[in-house]
Amino acid sequence: MRRVEELLPGITTVTPHARYYSLHAYVATALHAHEDLDQVDTLRRCEVVFAAISILHARRFPDQHRGMSQAHGHDVISASMQNGELNVADLAAPRSYAQASRGFLGPYLASERLLGLVTSGGELVAPGQHVDERALELAFEGLLKLAKMDSVPLDLLEGRQDLCLCGQYASERSWLRTVMFPAQRPGDAATINRRSETALMLYRLIEMYEPENVSIELSRKIIADPRTYTDDQLEKMAIVPAWRGVVLRRWYTWAWRDLWRWLVNEQMTGAVPLVQLQGALSEQLPDQKFSSFRDDLPSGIDGNRLIDAEYQMRIGAMDPGPRNLAWLMIGASRVGQLSEHVAPYFESPERERRNYELTPSWLKDFMDQRNDHLVRDVAFELTGILLARSQRVAMSKSSFVNGRWRVPTRLTLRDGYAFRESNEGGGPVSLRWDQLTQVMSGLGMVRRVSGDAGTSTDRWVLTRNGQK
């Protein structure tokens, strides 16, 4: 899903905390000002102290951390906070709170470089072009002093909520918000606009729907709720139809992944004859022509109106195998019917010409050529294609490891039998909206609140001062 990265650069599945962006920028400025400091040790110590303060604050004020992931290294650091002391030296030692030598800088580094917060070369980091050194010094005042201590009393950390990842007391928050979501700034304007406009889109959707689950609920709203097409703010955003295409492709890819997971995890016990595995889906389908089966499925588009047909009750009531097949068929049925602003983000024939098999266009052609076949025969053939493809992909990734040829696969086909090596994960590809929402929470734009008298579920809402 490269399109997700295009529409939301600088936010990844492993960068949920706005304040870690600030923290790493601060460490870079501190190292630049104090060249005598050991770069790696200082970074690790600062991350340990920062995480410990965040852990303590979350224990005392869980509402201020609602909806936010735990501090990086939480489990190791939390378990070590005994007897009223934080042993900074031990935790910051190699392979202690973090396995990577530079702690948790790695997951954030590409994003921080893109934002101009840091530059890097080898193990070294330096302030980036958009750093406000004075703002960072004030925001993280005292952190370096704490990090230099080998052991710190927890009582001393309890009062430093200004150094907590929740960002409730972060003085640099407004500065970081302008860096991450600038209105206008020299540089890669396309990248800036995509990230900022995606944030504005999500901000407006949260305002409209106050969702419990951002990715699941809002992706359906942006596809099927007429209000998202007529809203004064959303209809002006060119990025909204692009995200519609991405969401539709996500549903399509999700179905392939879950169909494969169903085959590997639920249809395999020991060594299974290949013909038996290939027929697992067929056995759960009706005895009818494929054209009739297609006609019975709901349409994913009606004229110019998109429909979230995948979520209709009769589709949800199907068994997992047939349900995933239905999702795939609904997705492929949208080929050639999407608007010029949505279609390129659902499927790009030019980009995918080398990996055409299993794409929406490929599946539509596959289905069109088999309308007169029985649906069970079509499913049998399709499963065989999926099994063969899995082996080709695995072989393309094979390599010598410790003197032995290793094929990274969870399913091995040999001599007419299938063997499961391990379970498949499945599930949807991330839109990164959940991570963006957490970043926006750390920037004071949105927050997660507990359910009111009418509902027991938490939900995301705007903050009073969240306006840019």
DSSP of 309-330, one letter per residue? GGG-HHHHTS-HHHHHHHHHHH
Q: Is residue 133 part of a domain?
A: yes
Residue 385 reports pLDDT greater than 60: yes
Tokens (6 digits) for 13: 């599945």
237-281 residue pLDDT tens: 999 999 999 999 999 999 999 999 999 999 988 899 999 999 999
CA distance 293 to 276: 23
Minimum mean pLDDT among 11-15, 324-328, 407-411: which range? 407-411
CA distance 440 to 242: 21
In a shared domain, residues 245 and 364 = yes
In a shared domain, residues 174 and 277 = no
In a shared domain, residues 402 and 317 = yes
Q: In this predicted structure, what is the pLDDT of residue 121?
A: 76
Residue 424 reports pLDDT greater than 60: yes
Strands 411-414 and 417-420, bridge-based pairing: antiparallel
> Could you tell me if 17 and 41 are in contact, meaning their C-beta atoms sit under 8 angstroms apart?
no
Q: Is residue 211 part of a domain?
A: no
CA distance 320 to 174: 47
Q: In this predicted structure, what is the pLDDT of residue 464?
A: 76
Minimum mean pLDDT among 58-62, 165-169, 415-419, 436-440: which range? 415-419
Q: Give how many domains the chain has, as a whole number.
A: 2
Strands 446-449 and 417-420, bridge-based pairing: unpaired
* Residue listed under structure tokens 């950390």: 157
Among the candidates 180, 207, 224, a domain finishes at: 180
Q: In this predicted structure, what is the pLDDT of residue 394?
A: 81
In a shared domain, residues 261 and 385 = yes
* Residue 190 CA neighbour count, 13 Å, CB half: 3
Q: Is residue 190 part of a domain?
A: no
Among the candidates 180, 202, 225, a domain finishes at: 180
- The SS3 of residue 360 is helix
> Could you tell me if 447 and 66 are in contact, meaning their C-beta atoms sit under 8 angstroms apart?
yes
Q: Residue 348: exposed, middle, or buried by beta-carbon count in 10 A (0-12, 13-18, 19+)?
A: middle
Residue 190 reports pLDDT greater than 70: no
Per-residue pLDDT band at 185 (split at 50, 70, 90): low
Q: Is residue 217 part of a domain?
A: no
In a shared domain, residues 252 and 389 = yes
Q: What are the respective helix, strand and coil percentages of the chain, to the nearest 5?
A: 55, 10, 35
Among the candidates 153, 180, 207, a domain finishes at: 180
303-343 residue pLDDT tens: 889 999 999 999 999 999 999 999 999 999 999 999 999 99
Give the Cβ contact number of residue 310 at 10 Å.
24
In a shared domain, residues 247 and 331 = yes
**Which amino acid does the sequence have at 129?**
Q
Minimum mean pLDDT among 63-72, 123-132, 348-357: which range? 348-357
- Alpha-carbon torsion angle 40, 45, 48, 49, nearest 10: -150
Q: Report the alpha-carbon angle 442-136-29, nearest 5.
A: 125
Q: Is residue 337 part of a domain?
A: yes
Mean pLDDT of the 377-388 span: 96
Q: Is residue 255 part of a domain?
A: yes
Residue 449 β-bridge partners:
459
80-122 residue pLDDT tens: 998 899 999 999 999 999 999 999 999 999 999 999 999 987 7
Q: Higher model confidence: residue 252 or residue 426? A: 252
CA distance 363 to 328: 8
435: phi then psi, degrees, rounded to nearest 5: -65, -40
In a shared domain, residues 160 and 251 = no
Q: Is residue 458 part of a domain?
A: no
Residue 150 reports pLDDT greater than 90: yes
Mean pLDDT of the 33-40 span: 93
In a shared domain, residues 174 and 248 = no
Q: Is residue 213 part of a domain?
A: no
In a shared domain, residues 244 and 153 = no
In a shared domain, residues 261 and 145 = no
Q: In this predicted structure, what is the pLDDT of residue 124?
A: 78
> Could you tell me if 1 and 253 are in contact, meaning their C-beta atoms sit under 8 angstroms apart?
yes
> Could you tell me if 290 and 379 are in contact, meaning their C-beta atoms sit under 8 angstroms apart?
no
Count of residues in the chain: 468
As separate numbers, helices (DSSP H) first and strands (DSSP E) second, the chain gives: 22, 13
In a shared domain, residues 167 and 261 = no
Q: Higher model confidence: residue 186 or residue 287? A: 287
**Which amino acid does the sequence have at 408?**
P
CA distance 70 to 158: 17
In a shared domain, residues 136 and 245 = no
Minimum mean pLDDT among 41-50, 83-92, 95-104, 458-467: which range? 458-467
**What is the chain's mean pLDDT, rounded?**
93
Question: What residue numbers bound the domain in which 19 lies?
Answer: 2-180
- The SS3 of residue 465 is coil
